[in-house]
Each structure stands twice: as structure tokens, then as C-alpha cells.
Amino acid sequence: MINQVVNWSYSSRDVRVRAPVGVSYGSDLKLVSELLYQAVEETSRILERPKPRVNIMGFGDSSVDFEVRFWIQDPEEGLANIRSDVYLRIWELFQKNDIEIPFPQRDLNLRAGKQIDRLIEAMSAQNGAKK
């Protein structure tokens, strides 16, 4: 190299942190957004400027997918722990407001056949024996 290089990434200590969150399809999405903003506002180390942002990122298999984006100025204090603090506050707020964080649910389709018929018979016999 013969020319001077300026690394602009070190001109600011501000770091943007992302925290994805999924909620059930039955959730009040406006309330979810308000609670996500509240969680960020109530967590220390998060900068007021640039303002935090809550975005709906998509409609997943099991959830409406949000992403919370916020800025910190002290990355040397850790990124995982600030994200953890935000998640803990989100969990508390969701619990208080009956917002469900879903887990994957799958339908099981069984084809008729001798194996299934024997399984059904065995289960029926077992349930009859319990009565």
C-alpha cells in the first residue's frame, strides 16, 4: 500500500444491536410493538439517540417475527449481556400482558394400514383396561 487508509468504523463507539422476537399470530401486534419499545426504554446502557426501532420482519411458520434494533455506546461491556437484559424485560412484559411466544407445532399425518390399525387397537384396549 502506498496511500494512507482511514478506517471509518472506528470513528464512533456506537454499535447497533439486533434482537429478533417472535409472537403468536393471535397477539395484538400494536401492543407487542409498544411493549418492545418499553422493554428497550427500561433497559440501561441503551442510547436514546439514535432512537430504537421495532420492525415486523415477516410472517413465519409459527410466529409473527419482529426485530428490535437499538444502539449502545459501550461495546466493551458486552453485546450478549445487553441483548439478554432486553430479552428478560420483554419476557416480563409479555407475561404481564398475556403475549405468547410460540414454539413450533407440527401436524402428524398417518396413513391407514395394518401397523396403524394395530396401534389403534392396542391403544383402545389400553384405554378400556384403565376404566
pLDDT number for residue 104: 78
Q: Which helix (H) or strand (E) holds 34?
A: helix 29-41
Give domain limits for the chain: 11-96
54-82 pLDDT tens trace: 999 999 988 999 999 999 999 999 999 99
pTM: predicted TM-score of the whole model, two decimal places: 0.73
- Residues of the chain with confidence (pLDDT) below 50: none
Torsion of CA 120, 125, 127, 131, to 10 degrees: 160
43 CB-near residues (< 8 Å, 6+ apart): 82, 85, 86, 89
The answer as to CATH 3.30.70.100 being correct for domain 11-96 is yes
Asked if omega into 50 is within 30° of 0 (cis), the reply is: yes
pLDDT number for residue 6: 58
pLDDT number for residue 116: 81
pLDDT number for residue 106: 75
